Amino acid sequence: VYCDLTDFNKTFKLIKNNNIDFIFHLAAQSIVENAIKNPRDTFNSNIMGTVNVLEAARRWGKVSGIIVTSSDKAYGKIRRATEKNAIGGDHPYETSKASADLAAHTYFKTFGLPVIVTRFGNVYGEGDLNFNRIIPGIMKAIIKKKILAIRSDGKFVRDYVYVGNVVNACILLSTNIRKLSGEAFNISSLENLSVLELVDRIGKILNVSIKYQVYNRAVNEIPTQSIDFAKIRKTLGWKPKSSLKTTIPVVYDWYKSYFKNFKKKS
């Protein structure tokens, strides 16, 4: 079902007409570079889209819980962030995510809406067709035998967490919505790598040589960022069950199949 979440009436009708019981709100404009180019659209999507989901759930009154997806970027320029750190931002993307994060907290504190906020590291996995993102871009470059374009200087450091680990964490949180409403949880991994380190790691895992060119044109991005997931580990016993080493071959096979089928269709 498609719905423009920036349209409140459509969002409310979707929730009401489908008798929605639980919401995992992951929809967002997620590209930092696009946020610089189109800040208004990013704010509308990430902030008002979230507010519309929260308000529609409040008015419908039959939603038992909501998981709102924020981001590690909501912490701004903090190298190793915990949930105790303040959220905020200097630039459009991180500000949009921090604002959505605060809106979720407001709906819990003011209206008692059962909401949990999740803040992810860089999520990767099958099905991600945004080839401006680093891991999809790497996969495409390998399969198409192209030169990988690195838009930063290659030294930006991020956490990389597999989508399956993220899904498991969100489901676990959803089953504990009553006792954990109003809380925020970091969801990430211990794999904190620069872009160039990531390229090297994936090349070694897949036993391939990845050619790349560094363009160094990224602006207003956080150089080094990592988030601590000790809170969810201590509270619910969650930790990532898989790593780059175990998941990259699976992800690579998915992209090979995708491009093979895409070629047939075209």
In a structure prediction context, what are the per-residue pLDDT tens digits for the chain, which is 266 residues long?
A: 899 999 999 999 999 999 999 999 999 999 888 999 999 999 999 999 999 999 999 999 999 999 999 999 999 888 899 999 999 989 999 999 999 999 999 999 999 999 999 999 999 999 999 999 999 999 999 999 999 999 999 999 999 999 999 999 999 999 999 999 999 999 999 899 999 999 999 999 999 999 999 999 888 888 899 999 999 999 999 999 999 999 999 999 999 999 998 876 65
pLDDT tens for each residue of 68-108: 999 999 998 888 999 999 999 899 999 999 999 999 999 99
Q: Domain segments of the chain: what residues?
A: 8-265
Domain 8-265: which topology?
Rossmann fold (3.40.50)
DSSP string, the chain: ----TT-HHHHHHHHHHTT--EEEE------HHHHHH-HHHHHIIIIIHHHHHHHHHHHH----EEEEE--GGGG-S-SEE-TTS----SSHHHHHHHHHHHHHHHHHHHH---EEEEEE-EEE-TT---TTSHHHHHHHHHHHT-PEEE-S-S--EEEEEEHHHHHHHHHHHHTTHHHHTT-EEEE--S-EEEHHHHHHHHHHHHT----EEE-----S--SB-EE--HHHHHHH-------HHHHHHHHHHHHHHHHHHHHHH-
Catalytic residue among 75, 93, 124, 255: 93
- To the query of whether residue 93 is one of the catalytic residues in this protein, the response is yes
Report CA-CA distances (Å) from 104 to 49, 57, 64, 66. Answer: 12, 12, 15, 9
pTM: 0.94
